[in-house]
Amino acid sequence: MDGQISSSPPSLSGAAKALGYAGLLPQAICVALILIGHEWRYSALAGGFAYAAAIFSFLGGAWWGQAVQGAKDGRPASTGAYLLAVMPSLLAVALFLPWTFGWDWPGPALLYLGALIALSPLVDRALGFAAPDFLRLRWHLSIGLGGLSIALGLLADRVI
């Protein structure tokens, strides 16, 4: 190979990356509304939780799709891959339940949700279906959204 390092072609377009990073804006806006003390700060807190929960559930759908695609490509996914794929939706609903019972919410739930999102690329890596550039983007976006969600959880006391 003449001493050259071969690399696979990128799997993500510039537009895909830009749109991925744009997905951090809703959570950043929620944090900003709370920090400036805007009258919509409670709605920002609830909306931030809903957005993080929706994205976390979306990740589970992506894992499911990767497992199915891997099976088509001759790499059958284990039952564990499908179990991991349904967990984000179930965890997001479980983290919403304290609010429905009037317990401490959403601060603690946002802390847990943020941590789960920030660590979620570990699942991508464990499943082994993600291309390297996709996995790199996933780390950036997950740490970004996870960190912003944790920030919302820490700011929740300013709102409630």
Question: pLDDT of the chain along its 160 residues, tens only?
Answer: 444 444 566 788 999 999 999 999 999 999 999 999 889 999 999 999 999 999 999 999 999 998 888 777 777 778 888 999 999 999 999 999 998 898 878 899 999 999 999 999 999 998 887 889 999 999 999 999 999 999 999 999 888 7
| Domain presence at residue 16 | no
Nearest to 97 by CA among 105, 89, 87: 105
User: Any idea of the CA torsion for 127, 149, 103, 158, to the nearest 10 degrees?
Assistant: 170
Per-residue confidence (pLDDT) for residue 2, from 0 to 100: 45
Identify the domain containing residue 112 by its residue range. Answer: 31-159
Give the per-residue pLDDT at 129.
Answer: 78
In angstroms, how far is CA 14 from the centroid of its own chain?
20
Is 73 among the domain residues?
Answer: yes
How many domains in the chain?
Answer: 1
Is residue 26 assigned to a domain?
no
For residue 88, being part of any structural domain is answered with: yes
Domain membership of residue 21 (yes or no) is no
At residue 149, the pLDDT reads 98
Classify residue 140: in a domain, yes or no: yes
Residue 9 lies in a domain: no
The 3 state secondary structure assigned to 57-122 is HHHHHHHHHHHHHHHHCCCCCCHHHHHHHHHHHHHHHHHHHHHHCCCCCCHHHHHHHHHHHHHCHH
Residue 1 lies in a domain: no
Other beta carbons less than 10 A from residue 94's beta carbon: 12
- Which one-letter amino acid corresponds to residue 68? V
Amino acid at 139: W
